[in-house]
Amino acid sequence: MLDAERLLQPHGGAKTAIEIVPVEKSRWEAFRKTLSSRERAWADAQAFGAETGKALICPTEGGGIARILYGDSADADPFMPGKLARALPPGRYRFAKGLTNPKLAALGWLLESYEFAIDPGASKLARTILECPSGIDRAGLIREANAVFMVRDLVNRPANDLTPDALEAAVRKVAKAGRAALRIIKGAALKRGFPLIHTVGMASIGPPRLADFTWGNPRHPRLTLIGKGVCFDTGGLDIKPASGMALMKKDMGGAATVLGLAQMIMAAKLPVRLRVLTPIVENSIAGNSFRPGDVYRSRKGLTVEIGNTDAEGRLILADAMALADEEKPDLMLTLATLTGAARVALGPDLPPFYTDDDPLAAAIGRHATAENDPLWRMPLWRPYNRLFESPVADLNNSSESGFAGSITAALFLRRFVEKAASYVHFDIFAWTPSPRPGRPKGGEAQAMRALFGVIRERYAR
């Protein structure tokens, strides 16, 4: 895996670093007058006017790079300066003073440097090195970037490579690095104690399982993270069309994001008693697949009628949530690539979240903005509970209506939480469909950095 520590060097570590000078367009004419006649002529010849995101390489007389002029703007994506990581020749660079947001610019640089390759040795991306801006927490930036890299690597791996066994191995690796206590529940124990997880995954050659690890002082506040770990989703007997199945390797994006968040929490040694639950399945088709119309009893005791086998993520989360709720956590978070309806409502870049905790929702919104990790609160509109009523069970896993799909999914999950002091559900996409600053096309760790900020603030010593 790419290591951010190599890409972000300590501040002032080398006198040879090339300076990147930020200039806002509104200040360009005044700044232009301060240039040498040679640089002024060069800028004019290149028609450079400090437009947002544009860069001008100023050459030395010997053909090297003297410095970089960069069009900065407070209105631009804070990761925009990070695009220079791919645009500039290999070398060592540093941002001059005056950049709008040096922390997010540096993080954007690291995230822009990511490239997925099944064989890491086959990567051809030339790496540029950045000096950490003065006064910025370098260790924190490295911790964030490495967590994002891990999440992206997991989501980008094809399903024939990231099997249920392989996702379990990834959980084991994170737990081992944090010295967390891990148990894996599978086979008869899973069928007995977590019937919905078993039901969804029983048709796959990769057996279903629940990974459960804990870390931290038992006397600290209990924080539980639950991530949907569907390694591939065919839709089951309600099979998806080819277009709907094309990206289903990313249906474990919730699990990957939870692992990244857990890695950050443990590395930062936050004062929490952390529990991470990862239900791991593959929703496959075979003679023993679960069927529309089947009725199953959940761990919580609620019976669920299967209205649609393609609404499997909420089933595996429900059993994991019931387990988590039994120990009355202070905060429970679920992250899942749960519904296409969330994308219809808000698009791929803005995941919705659901909670009844107004102060917590406000904190999430604040940190989402501060960390350039966008999120948007959606309502747990209780009247829509009627949409998944069942005549033969306590509830149906799918609504016959085509309306409010993300809300009804969140309401379904909410039925499995009673004892947690606070609960939030995130309906993430875990994918960047077209490249943006700091976000290459492919797997993405949505909500993770914002949540780390919320958790760090909530449980500050």
The catalytic residue among 222, 314, 415, 449 is 314
Q: What are phi and psi of 324, to 5 degrees?
A: -60, -40
* Residue type for position 175: A
DSSP 346-405: H-TT--EEEES-HHHHHHHHHHHHHTT---EE----GGGGGGG--SSSSEESS-SSSS-H
Quick one: 291 exposed, middle or buried, by C-beta within 10 A (0-12, 13-18, 19+)?
exposed
Max Cα separation, the chain? Answer: 82
**DSSP three-state, residue 197:** helix
- Establish whether 314 is a catalytic residue: yes
Quick one: CA dihedral 332, 335, 339, 343, positive or negative?
A: positive
* Extended strands (E) in 18-128: 18-24, 55-59, 65-72, 92-95
CA-nearest of 235, 245, 248, 209 to 429 is 248
Is 191 an active-site residue?
Answer: no
The catalytically annotated residue of 138, 172, 191, 240 is 240
Both tokens assigned to 307: 């209205």
Tell which residue, 300, 63, 70, 265, has the closest CA to residue 175: 265
Phi, psi of 76 (to 5 degrees): -85, 165
Q: How many CB atoms lie within 10 A of CB 8?
A: 24
Give the residue numbers marked as catalytic: 240, 314
